[in-house]
């Protein structure tokens, strides 16, 4: 068919096309994390303290998210959300073009929904590593619950959270590659569209592959640096 194995010119051009999708991928990752972190933390607390309704709900929610493929979650949410919203808007007679919403908003909702459940488990296992006596000690010196958590529990918890949080972040960045299903203009879709013209799919996917590799190795490195700083605090605290 073609004389050379790889179209180098296309490979280099498309690399920058793929790179131009990085801001969207990182934006979705950052927003999803920002929404999922507090939700995940409070649901983890409700699991640990066995708060009646919330505990059961969280159990089912986490089990569903961990038990089903992300792409299926995207399919379900992407078809159910417009239906629900359309129903609400119709009821209150709000004129809103529900089918012209930027897919970015759906991406925020879907990836937050997914990540929050993952983080529940991350925080739950991290909270368990903190000795129960720590909370009692904090109470006994007169701290309120929120003070005890903010000053005593959370700082200790953070150290053991970091590796799992890093994995969750990496998985989230990788997961944004599924944004194609809701036509989100991120790394994968952008490069794929560029490849559609001349059927240079192999080159496009090599570019996408390299971009994710750079992205993930960078994030992993940043987490490692941050973890080192945190554990230094831990060493000071225990000394």
Partner 1 sequence: MEKYFDINYLWTALPQLLPFLWITLFVAALAVIFGSLLGLILAVFKLSKNKFLRFLANSYITVMRCTPSIVLLFLVYYGIPAFADHFLGIYLQDVHTGVFVVITFSLQFAAMMAEVIRSAYLAVDKGQYEAAVSVGLTPFQAYRRIIFPQAIVFALPNFGNGLIAVLQEGALAYTIGFIDIVGKANLIIANNYNTHALEIYIALAVFYWVFSIAIAKFFGKLEKVFSKGQSSLKTS
Question: How many binding residues for partner 1 (CB under 8 A)?
Answer: 35
How far is residue 183's CA from residue 172's CA, in Å, rounded to a whole number?
17
Residue 209 CB, shortest distance to partner 1, in Å, is 5
Residues 213-223 as b or e (16 or more Cβ within 10 Å = b): eebbeebeeeb
Site for partner 1 in 16-45 (CB under 8 A): none
How far is residue 229's CA from residue 29's CA, in Å, rounded to a whole number?
23
Contact between 75 and partner 1 per CB under 8 A: yes
How far is residue 229's CA from residue 155's CA, in Å, rounded to a whole number?
12
Q: For residue 235, give Cα distances in angstroms to 48, 156, 228.
A: 27, 11, 11
Residue carrying structure tokens 């010196």: 141
Site for partner 1 in 111-170 (CB under 8 A): 170
| The token pair that represents 137 in the structure block | 């000690």
Residue 5 CB, shortest distance to partner 1, in Å, is 4
Return the range that interacts with partner 1 (CB under 8 A); candidates 65-73, 109-117, 147-155, 222-230: 65-73
| Cβ count near 12 (within 10 Å) | 11
Q: Which of 16, 96, 105, 209 binds partner 1 (CB under 8 A)?
A: 209
How far is residue 211's CA from residue 198's CA, in Å, rounded to a whole number?
21
Q: Which of 57, 89, 205, 223 binds partner 1 (CB under 8 A)?
A: 205
Contact between 92 and partner 1 per CB under 8 A: no
Site for partner 1 in 173-192 (CB under 8 A): 174-175, 177-178, 180, 188
Q: Which of 27, 70, 109, 159 binds partner 1 (CB under 8 A)?
A: 70
Contact between 202 and partner 1 per CB under 8 A: yes
Which of 54, 216 has the CB closer to partner 1?
216
Residue 35 CB, shortest distance to partner 1, in Å, is 21
| Cβ count near 116 (within 10 Å) | 25
Say whether 216 sits in a helix, a strand or coil: helix
**Which distant-in-sequence residues (6+ apart) come within 8 Å of 46 by Cβ?**
54, 55, 58
Which of 54, 81 has the CB closer to partner 1?
81
How far is residue 95's CA from residue 93's CA, in Å, rounded to a whole number?
6
| The token pair that represents 142 in the structure block | 């007169």
Residue 144 CB, shortest distance to partner 1, in Å, is 38
Contact between 225 and partner 1 per CB under 8 A: no
Q: What residues line the site for partner 1 (CB under 8 A)?
A: 1, 5, 63-64, 66-73, 75-76, 79-80, 83, 170, 174-175, 177-178, 180, 188, 201-202, 205-206, 208-209, 212-213, 215-217
């Amino acid at each position: 068919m073609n004389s050379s194995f790889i179209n180098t010119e296309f490979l280099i051009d498309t690399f920058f096309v793929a790179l131009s999708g990085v801001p969207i991928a990182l934006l979705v990752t950052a927003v999803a994390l920002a929404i999922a972190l507090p939700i995940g933390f409070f649901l983890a607390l409700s699991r640990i303290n066995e708060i009646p309704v919330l505990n059961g709900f969280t159990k089912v929610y986490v089990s569903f998210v961990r038990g089903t493929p992300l792409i299926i979650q995207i399919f379900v949410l992407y078809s159910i959300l417009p239906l629900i919203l359309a129903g609400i808007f119709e009821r209150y007679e709000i004129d809103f073009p529900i089918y012209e919403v930027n897919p970015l908003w759906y991406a925020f909702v879907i990836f937050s929904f997914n990540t929050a459940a993952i983080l529940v488990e991350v925080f739950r296992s991290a909270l368990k590593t903190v000795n129960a006596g720590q909370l009692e000690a904090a109470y006994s010196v007169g701290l309120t619950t929120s003070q005890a958590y903010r000053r005593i529990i959370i700082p200790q918890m953070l150290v053991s959270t970091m590796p799992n949080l890093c994995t969750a972040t990496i998985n989230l960045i990788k997961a944004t590659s599924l944004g194609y299903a809701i036509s989100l203009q991120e790394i994968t879709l952008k490069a794929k569209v560029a490849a559609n013209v001349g059927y240079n799919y192999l080159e496009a996917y090599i570019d996408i592959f390299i971009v994710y590799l750079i992205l993930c190795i960078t994030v992993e490195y940043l987490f490692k640096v941050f973890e080192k700083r945190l554990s230094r605090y831990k060493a000071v605290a225990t000394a």
